[in-house]
């Protein structure tokens, strides 16, 4: 028997309706603990609802060896954050890490002019929602501001020409890169330059985001973030980075440093240890119904500590650099060479949208998967989404979740269900899918430990001994 599932808190937003029945309440749905599958997955120090002092203490410890000598008492500092950090486990851990960075910088440097920048890609009012919800404007004494990709830009001269950052990101003497290391967008970064990726996304103007997403695609988009970060302009302002590290169990630690290459190596090895076996296990699934029931858009919605985007691309080993994936930018419009035919994993036989946010292009979902939208309130919001004008013409609407699931079972011809409800520490699944995953886990463990992990590391100039060392290389 599965344990009772614990879905994550859904933050109130204009981009999605108030949630009604959660998928965790459905008959036959429960929690399959990650440790029942892979006990060796790195343990969490924090999971949603725990004491936030754990995050504060971990952040303080991570900052102890960070050099802040550049920052003077009369200087200005921007702490840079991104929207998705506030979608992890209710967002409280990320907000607490940011507040702790603020306090540490003020205490050690005497600087009082410390501002917050909350960056977003497409949902232009989301930063304001975040700032209000976590009372960040009060904490930062009126100096918390949103950053949008359509805001005024600032030219950044790079080794490949002029690119554009968001001016509000760089309107201080110094910047602090406060980010998070959960596994998402693996098709784009492949755990290469992951630590600097926000410099081409969260902190960039739309034109430069487009260069990374569309012009370069999944093999070389990492270059854009790298050349921006290494530019004379950005280096003249950069001080240090601070990251929440995650595994499917929850927050496993906080890492900080002045050298982002060292942090990037830490993110890489942490991702292999934390997500390598889970991703490979997802590739074993040949049929399932996916249910969206958490904060944010489907691609980044978490289930069992792993994003839906990892299931939509599970049939490809995206840690393997020999594989050229179809990404949700380049690959939807210009098919790259390689084994991929569809931009969505064909094992997903039906998709139920119980709760989600609009505002991000995602037409690849209803054009490849039979999709059911739950409730007329969500249907009305999606019908007005300028990013997905034809979305509702490709789906059906159910009055409630139970009706939607009944319809999905009939279409999909399977009772295997995977719910993406923001949970860490356990997957919210049906009993049949739980049994299947438990059966396949031992073989997946053997395959990853003996074959795949050595290959992933070798491709990046690492070995198994370095993987077992938790210190950044």
pLDDT beyond 90 at 212? no
pLDDT digits (tens, 9 = 90+) for 364-381: 899 999 999 999 999 999
Q: What is the mean pLDDT of the chain?
A: 92
Contact 306, 433 (CB under 8 A): no
Average confidence (pLDDT) over 381-409 = 96
Q: What integer pLDDT is reported at residue 221 of this predicted model?
A: 76
Q: What integer pLDDT is reported at residue 472 of this predicted model?
A: 39
With a CB cutoff of 8 Å and minimum separation 6, the contacts of 389 are none
pLDDT digits (tens, 9 = 90+) for 13-53: 999 998 889 999 999 999 999 999 999 999 999 999 999 99
pLDDT beyond 70 at 332? no
Average confidence (pLDDT) over 408-419 = 98
pLDDT beyond 60 at 470? no
How long is the chain? 473
Contact 1, 430 (CB under 8 A): no
Per-residue b or e along 184-202, where b marks 16 or more CB atoms closer than 10 Å to that residue's CB: bbbbbbbbbbbbbbbbbbb
pLDDT beyond 90 at 68? yes
Segment among 139-143, 437-441, 455-459 with least mean pLDDT: 455-459
pTM over 0.75: yes
| Closest among 146, 92, 98, 95 to 124, alpha carbons compared | 146
| CATH annotation of 53-272 | 3.40.50.11440
| Closest among 308, 302, 11 to 133, alpha carbons compared | 11
pLDDT beyond 50 at 471? no
pLDDT band at 218, cuts 50/70/90?
Answer: low
Average confidence (pLDDT) over 220-225 = 84
Any idea of the CA torsion for 132, 124, 185, 342, to the nearest 10 degrees? 140
Q: Any idea where the domains of the chain sit in the sequence?
A: 23-40+275-440, 53-272
Average confidence (pLDDT) over 403-409 = 98
pLDDT digits (tens, 9 = 90+) for 157-179: 999 999 999 999 999 999 999 99
Distances (CA, A) of 306 to 75, 234, 276, 281: 40, 32, 11, 12
Segment among 72-81, 173-182, 205-214 with least mean pLDDT: 205-214
């Amino acid at each position: 028997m599965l344990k009772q599932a614990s879905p994550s808190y859904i933050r109130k937003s204009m981009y999605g309706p108030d949630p009604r029945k959660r998928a965790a309440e459905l008959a036959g749905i429960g929690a399959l603990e990650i440790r029942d599958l892979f006990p060796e997955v790195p343990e969490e120090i924090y999971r949603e609802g725990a004491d936030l002092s754990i995050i504060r203490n971990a952040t303080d410890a991570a900052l102890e060896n960070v050099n802040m000598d550049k920052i003077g008492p009369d200087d200005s500092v921007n702490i840079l954050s991104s929207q998705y950090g506030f979608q992890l486990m209710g967002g409280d851990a990320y907000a607490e890490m940011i507040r702790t960075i603020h306090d540490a910088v003020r205490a050690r440097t005497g600087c009082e002019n410390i501002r917050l920048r909350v960056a977003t890609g497409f949902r232009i009012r989301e930063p304001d929602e975040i700032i209000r919800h976590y009372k960040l404007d009060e904490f930062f004494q009126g100096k918390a501001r949103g950053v949008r990709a359509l805001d005024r830009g600032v030219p950044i001269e790079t080794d490949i020409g002029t690119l554009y950052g968001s001016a509000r990101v760089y309107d201080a003497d110094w910047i602090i890169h406060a980010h998070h290391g959960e596994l998402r967008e693996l098709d784009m970064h492949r755990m290469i330059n992951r630590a600097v990726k926000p410099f081409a996304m969260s902190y960039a103007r739309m034109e430069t985001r487009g260069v990374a997403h569309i012009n370069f695609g999944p093999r070389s988009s990492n270059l854009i973030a790298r050349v921006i970060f290494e530019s004379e302009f950005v280096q003249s302002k950069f001080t240090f980075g601070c990251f929440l590290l995650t595994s499917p169990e929850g927050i496993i630690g906080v890492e900080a440093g002045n050298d982002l290459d060292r942090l990037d190596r830490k993110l890489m090895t942490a991702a292999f240890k934390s997500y390598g076996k889970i991703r490979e296990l997802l590739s074993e699934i040949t049929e399932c119904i996916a249910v969206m029931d958490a904060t944010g858009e489907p691609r980044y919605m978490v289930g069992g500590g792993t994003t839906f985007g990892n299931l939509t691309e599970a049939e490809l080993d995206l840690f393997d650099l020999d594989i050229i994936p179809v990404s949700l930018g380049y690959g939807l419009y210009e098919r790259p060479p390689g084994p991929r035919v569809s931009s969505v994993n064909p094992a997903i036989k039906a998709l139920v949208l119980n709760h989600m946010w609009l505002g991000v292009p995602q037409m690849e979902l209803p054009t490849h998967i039979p999709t059911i939208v739950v409730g007329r309130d969500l249907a009305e919001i999606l019908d007005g989404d300028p990013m997905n004008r034809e979305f509702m013409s490709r789906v059906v609407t159910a009055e409630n979740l139970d009706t939607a699931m009944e319809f999905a079972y009939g279409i999909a011809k399977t009772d295997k269900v995977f719910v993406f409800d923001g949970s860490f520490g356990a997957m919210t699944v049906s009993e049949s899918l739980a049994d299947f995953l438990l059966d396949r886990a031992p073989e997946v463990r053997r395959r990853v430990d003996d074959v795949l992990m050595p290959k992933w590391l070798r491709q990046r100039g690492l070995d198994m001994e370095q993987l077992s060392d938790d210190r950044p290389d």
